[in-house]
């Protein structure tokens, strides 16, 4: 007689399993099932089979459906998610279900669906967009997008706006467009057949040490300056690991825009192994397909963003975390896990090596590799201090004091001169500015009114191209007013620099230069970024203007100048991690210059050229800067010297959020003597998306004491009535305050 009671995890905010009857179905642990829940049906995962239930058997309902032809989730992934849910204080069922591809959370059977692409008919091509009423702005945008590209898939339409698919269907009804089914696929850049380099001494040493280490768990921090050939080291390690029968390798990358380049490099060098990528730019069908290939063991190399750390991989033998310092590894909602940290846990449990690579390791990682000698998870440090291409030198970095020179539209004469020189020499330049849009604020010259977002404690950004003001926090959009709403003055100025304005200025200064802008606005279409990068490689672009999307991972041999515009606000941020982040970002972006045989130059425009951060940057000495920052953190007892968690709460009315936090405060205070609980306060961004926010910091010098308190606190909070009146979350090891 098979066990008839199933313990099932469901996507509901309760930290428990639910009992159902198998109803005569043969069911395995890890299997996906459909169950009645309240008045609806829910997808669940079978976690255990049992003979008994704490509930009366007559009250239990049978499962309505077992997806018996699908491979069940294996024990390893279920238990990893169980661990993560406990550690990050999140309901297990929700953690488990949200780690699955969306298709597996839906009630319809998980088959890959084809998607549609739309293109204009001759009739549609002849439509004069200017004749369409301005208020039909989405229609205008979709038409414009269809005019500039041969066809748009549903995913690409989604990138324009959530309503764009509907508009495209209306165009078909009007006979302005036609549609056809396409196989959804992410384009990867052309395969460049690169010769296999001989490893240099440092690279060879790094590879040898990892490969010759005793089999089993090992955490390696590969600290290599930009262009030092870390990727080459990864490739050798992957080749080695993949020699084991059926072995699989997982490579985590911070952002989707890095996957195409790495994917192309791995495909050309590891051509014998099937490779899949997992990231949010895939359609649901693709995502499911790739995930299933990974789960079945058919895919040997998996490249993915943070969520892919929870992919079932039956033969995982090596995990690589590229750019391990990158904050996009931290999930900022639902279960707030850090994919790098979960990677360490997973490697440890599987008893396999994990390699963390970065030019600017997170201070936590640097600390683990250099300071803490007693930790069980201590990392082994490997360093690459030379650029791999022998002729390539680190770029020369200079800071220009913007208070001492006359700026032309935000640009110093030195930078303009350097750009001119590159154009003459037919070399490429990159201007880095971390603000998309035209200008960060709209200012009234008479009364100094600045256009605010009504739903957030923030300013609206001017998007001149679209004649819109936009909030980058909540997405709110409005027309640019003709006059100041405060004093009636008509003289409103876009003030400060954004990518669009910089692009415009450059077009005026260098009318013959070929300029491309890379930011979230210009790359929202699916293949837009890949196309721009291809043009850069083909020498069809002279000057690239962009945000941090351009800072990482790209290798442009003919790029010899990097200009940095206006990063000063991060120097004086109240967030104690801001300077660490800025340093990493500037090291990364500086690392784009002079990667081949031509010398690189970096020009940083700042009002504070003598700031310690810039001094460290000029000497490009990560180690000195990291050690100095760690010392500072130790003195003031900040992470990694203490362990923290942040309880966040928000509500329409701050009084409610505060009431909840005060309640949590008194609970937490009584739970432990070893844990410091700070008074609830409001974050710098007090209001976000119309919600009033507050938080409470919890801090301990011992991890177990913190975790114990968090478990008790969260359990008690889940049972209180005030908790149902606010939106709250626990963030263990928060990165942002
Ligand atoms: P990183 O990932 O550390 O920034 P990459 O792996 O991208 O560096 O390497 C930078 C450049 O150096 C690439 O063009 C790569 O092909 C090249 N390269 C890497 N290792 C070697 C080597 N041993 N000899 C010659 N060129 C190399
Ligand atoms: Zn005014
Ligand atoms: Zn807003």
Average pLDDT over residues 606-622: 92
Pick the more confident residue, 669 or 26.
Answer: 669
Please give the distance, rounded to the nearest whole angstrom, from the Cα atom of residue 287 to the centre of ligand 2.
50
pLDDT confidence band for 259 (50 / 70 / 90): low
* pLDDT more than 90, % of the chain: 70
Q: Quick one: which atom of ligand 1 is closest to the CA of 553? A: 4
Q: Is the pLDDT reported for residue 512 higher than 60?
A: yes
pLDDT of residue 508: 96
pLDDT of residue 229: 93
pLDDT confidence band for 184 (50 / 70 / 90): very low
* pLDDT more than 70, % of the chain: 95
pLDDT of residue 188: 45
CA distance to 19, 35, 36, 37, 41, per residue, from 62 (Å): 9, 7, 8, 11, 12
pLDDT of residue 186: 42
Q: Is the pLDDT reported for residue 146 higher than 80?
A: yes
pLDDT of residue 568: 86
Edge to edge, the sheet with strand 248-252 lists 275-278, 301-304, 248-252, 316-321, 353-358, 218-224, 380-384
pLDDT of residue 712: 96
pLDDT of residue 113: 52
Q: Is the pLDDT reported for residue 189 higher than 70?
A: no
pLDDT of residue 374: 60
Q: Quick one: which atom of ligand 1 is closest to the CA of 557? A: 14
Q: Is 388 in the pocket of ligand 1 (CB under 6 A)?
A: yes
Least confident among 85-94, 185-194, 374-383: 185-194
Q: Which residues contact 586 (CB under 8 A, 6 or more apart)?
A: 564, 567, 604, 617
Please give the distance, rounded to the nearest whole angstrom, from the Cα atom of residue 471 to the centre of ligand 3.
5
Please say whether the beta carbons of 593 and 395 come within 8 A: yes
Q: Is the pLDDT reported for residue 91 higher than 90?
A: yes
pLDDT confidence band for 371 (50 / 70 / 90): confident
Q: Is 199 in the pocket of ligand 1 (CB under 6 A)?
A: yes
Ligand with minimal distance to 490 CA = 2
pLDDT of residue 190: 47
- Render pLDDT for 101-132 as a digit per residue (tens, 0 to 9): 999 998 876 554 566 789 898 888 888 888 88
Pairwise CA distance, residues 541 & 559, whole Å:
10
Please say whether the beta carbons of 95 and 84 come within 8 A: yes
By most ligand atoms within 8 Å of CB, the mutation choice from 199, 221, 232, 555 for ligand 1 is 232
Ligand with minimal distance to 460 CA = 3
CA dihedral for 563, 578, 258, 340, sign (positive or negative): positive
Q: Is 389 in the pocket of ligand 1 (CB under 6 A)?
A: yes
By most ligand atoms within 8 Å of CB, the mutation choice from 224, 230, 231, 597 for ligand 1 is 231
Q: Quick one: which atom of ligand 1 is closest to the CA of 198? A: 23
Ligand with minimal distance to 486 CA = 2
pLDDT of residue 182: 66
Q: Is the pLDDT reported for residue 316 higher than 80?
A: yes
Q: Is 226 in the pocket of ligand 1 (CB under 6 A)?
A: yes
- Render pLDDT for 220-234 as a digit per residue (tens, 0 to 9): 999 999 889 999 999
Please give the distance, rounded to the nearest whole angstrom, from the Cα atom of residue 495 to the centre of ligand 2.
14
pLDDT of residue 187: 45
pLDDT of residue 180: 80
Pairwise CA distance, residues 590 & 432, whole Å:
10
pLDDT of residue 136: 87
Q: Is the pLDDT reported for residue 566 higher than 60?
A: yes
Q: Which residues contact 77 (CB under 8 A, 6 or more apart)?
A: 99, 310, 311, 312
Rounded to 5 degrees, φ, ψ at 550 are -95, -5
pLDDT of residue 110: 58
Q: Is 228 in the pocket of ligand 1 (CB under 6 A)?
A: yes
Please give the distance, rounded to the nearest whole angstrom, from the Cα atom of residue 446 to the centre of ligand 1.
55
Q: Is 227 in the pocket of ligand 1 (CB under 6 A)?
A: yes
pLDDT confidence band for 468 (50 / 70 / 90): very high
pLDDT of residue 647: 98
CA distance to 143, 319, 398, 450, per residue, from 401 (Å): 45, 44, 10, 27
Average pLDDT over residues 427-446: 94
The token duo for 384 is 């690459």
Please give the distance, rounded to the nearest whole angstrom, from the Cα atom of residue 472 to the centre of ligand 3.
7
Least confident among 168-172, 191-195, 202-206, 400-404: 191-195
By most ligand atoms within 8 Å of CB, the mutation choice from 207, 229, 326, 356 for ligand 1 is 229
């Amino acid at each position: 007689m098979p066990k008839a009671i199933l313990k099932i995890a469901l996507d509901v905010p309760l930290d428990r399993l639910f009992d159902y009857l198998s109803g005569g179905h043969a069911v395995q642990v890890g299997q996906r099932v459909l169950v009645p829940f309240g008045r609806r049906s829910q997808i669940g995962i079978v976690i255990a089979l049992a003979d008994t239930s704490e509930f009366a058997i007559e009250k239990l309902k049978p499962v309505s459906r077992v997806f018996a032809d699908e491979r069940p989730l294996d024990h390893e992934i279920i238990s990893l998610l169980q661990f993560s849910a406990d550690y990050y204080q999140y309901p297990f069922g929700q953690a488990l279900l949200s780690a699955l591809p969306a298709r597996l959370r839906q009630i319809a059977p998980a088959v890959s669906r084809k998607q549609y692409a739309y293109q204009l008919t001759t009739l549609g091509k002849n439509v004069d967009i200017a004749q369409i009423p301005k208020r039909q702005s989405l229609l205008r945008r979709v038409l414009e997008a269809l005019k500039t590209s041969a066809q748009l898939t549903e995913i690409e339409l989604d990138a324009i706006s959530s309503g764009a698919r509907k508009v495209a269907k209306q165009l078909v009804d009007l006979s302005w467009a036609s549609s056809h089914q396409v196989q959804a696929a992410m384009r990867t850049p052309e395969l460049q057949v690169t010769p296999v380099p001989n490893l240099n001494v440092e690279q060879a040493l790094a590879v040898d040490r990892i490969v010759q280490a005793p089999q089993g768990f090992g955490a390696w921090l590969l600290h290599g300056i930009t262009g030092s050939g870390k990727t080459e080291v990864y490739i050798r390690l992957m080749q080695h690991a993949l020699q084991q029968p059926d072995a699989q390798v997982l490579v985590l990358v911070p952002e989707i825009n890095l996957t195409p380049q790495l994917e192309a490099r791995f495909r050309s060098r590891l051509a014998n192994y099937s490779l899949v990528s997992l990231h949010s730019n895939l359609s649901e069908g693709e995502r499911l397909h790739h995930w299933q290939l990974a789960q079945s063991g058919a895919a040997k190399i998996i490249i993915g963003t943070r969520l892919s750390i929870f992919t079932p991989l039956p033969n995982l033998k090596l995990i690589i975390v590229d750019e391990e310092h990158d904050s996009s590894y931290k999930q900022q909602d639902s279960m707030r896990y850090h994919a790098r940290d979960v990677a360490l846990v997973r490697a440890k449990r599987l008893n396999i090596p994990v390699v963390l690579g970065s030019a600017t390791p997170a201070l936590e990682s640097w600390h683990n590799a250099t300071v803490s000698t007693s930790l069980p998870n201590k990392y082994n440090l490997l360093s690459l201090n030379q650029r791999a291409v022998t002729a390539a030198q680190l770029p020369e970095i200079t800071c220009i004091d913007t208070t001492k020179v006359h700026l032309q539209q935000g640009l110093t004469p030195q930078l303009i001169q350097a750009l001119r020189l590159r154009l003459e020499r037919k070399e490429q330049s990159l201007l880095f500015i971390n603000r998309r849009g035209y200008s960060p604020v709209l200012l009234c010259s008479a009364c100094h009114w600045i256009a605010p977002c009504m739903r957030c404690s923030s300013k609206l950004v001017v998007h001149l191209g679209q004649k819109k003001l936009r909030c980058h926090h909540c997405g709110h959009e409005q027309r640019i007013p003709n006059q100041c709403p405060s004093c009636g003055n008509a003289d409103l100025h876009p003030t400060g620099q954004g990518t669009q304005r910089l692009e415009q200025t450059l077009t005026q200064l260098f009318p013959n230069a070929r300029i491309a802008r890379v930011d979230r606005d210009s790359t929202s279409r699916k293949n837009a970024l890949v196309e721009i990068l291809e043009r850069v490689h083909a020498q069809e672009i002279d000057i690239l203007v962009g945000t941090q999307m351009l800072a990482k991972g790209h290798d442009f041999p003919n790029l010899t100048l990097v200009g940095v515009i206006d990063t000063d606000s991060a120097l004086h941020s109240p967030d104690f991690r801001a300077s660490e982040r800025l340093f990493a970002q500037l090291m990364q972006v500086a690392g784009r210059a002079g990667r081949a045989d031509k010398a690189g130059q970096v020009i940083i425009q700042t009002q504070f050229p003598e700031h310690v951060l810039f001094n460290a940057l000029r000497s490009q000495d990560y180690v000195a800067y990291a050690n100095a920052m760690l010392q500072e953190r130790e003195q003031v007892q900040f992470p990694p010297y203490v362990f923290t968690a942040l309880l966040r709460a928000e509500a329409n009315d701050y009084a409610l959020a505060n009431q909840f936090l005060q309640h949590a405060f008194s609970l937490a205070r009584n739970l432990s003597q070893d844990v410091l609980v700070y008074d609830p306060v409001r974050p710098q961004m007090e209001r976000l998306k119309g919600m009033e926010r507050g938080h409470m910091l919890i801090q301990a010098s011992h991890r177990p004491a913190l975790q114990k308190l968090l478990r008790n606190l969260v359990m008690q909070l889940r049972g209180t009535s005030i908790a149902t009146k606010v939106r709250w979350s626990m963030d263990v090891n928060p990165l942002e305050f």
